[in-house]
Amino acid sequence: MSTTLAPGEIKQARIAIISLSIAIPLIVAVLFKVQLTGYDLSFLPPIYATINGLTAFFLVAALYAIKSHNMSLHRRLIRVCLVLSLLFLAGYVAYHMTSKPTVYGDSNHDDVRDATESIAVGSMVGFYYFLLVSHVILSIVIVPLVLFSYLFAWQGNYVRHKKWTRISFPIWLYVAVSGVIVYAMISPYYG
């Protein structure tokens, strides 16, 4: 994949990565405020949870491929992970634009976790929100980390790629796995 990029092209790529890293969370935040009615996309959460699970699987497979010195397979698997991450984001945003938020522990689906429901979920509510908040924050952080890691590999700068990947890989894997766990925990409370 190594490509010689002119200094101007490297600068453009860096500007694009920084721009995307700022634009994606801003656009998602704006879209979350949009509420479209008349669409039933309630089928999406298990799909995008599965996409997260597949991303985690392919990330581990990509790690195995590079540890086995199979760079070609590694590249293909990382590209699959990038596409899966984009598909996840599209499905996640589409669902949240067409559905009201789900309250963790709201077993009677009245959009409020009352005292009885709070007792039923106990301390799991704290764990759920910790997992959810860390998942969301790290999903924002991972965008530039992955894109810069990819750029360094594209340039053939494998020393920098490896340094960045030591940070980006575990975070990307955490985001993918925590997304599946968050779905498993909230899914009983979907209305």
Domain coverage including residue 42 = 7-189
Asked if the structure places residue 2 within a domain, the reply is no
Cα 72 from Cα 78, distance rounded (Å)? 10
Residue 42 has pLDDT above 80, yes or no: yes
Contact of 150 with 82, CB cutoff 8 Å: yes
Cα 132 from Cα 186, distance rounded (Å)? 10
| pLDDT value for 6 | 75
Contact of 70 with 190, CB cutoff 8 Å: no
CA–CA distances in Å: residue 12 to residues 7, 19, 140: 9, 10, 21
Asked if the structure places residue 1 within a domain, the reply is no
Which pTM was predicted?
Answer: 0.91
Tell me the three state secondary structure of residue 122: coil
Residue 61 has pLDDT above 80, yes or no: yes
Cα 177 from Cα 164, distance rounded (Å)? 20
Asked if the structure places residue 100 within a domain, the reply is yes
CATH code assigned at 52: 1.20.120
Asked if the structure places residue 144 within a domain, the reply is yes
Average pLDDT of every residue of the chain: 94
Residue 4 has pLDDT above 90, yes or no: no
CA–CA distances in Å: residue 88 to residues 46, 48, 67, 103: 11, 5, 27, 21
pLDDT tens digits along 119-137: 999 999 999 999 999 999 9
Residue type at 143?
V
| pLDDT value for 115 | 94
Structural domains counted in the chain: 1
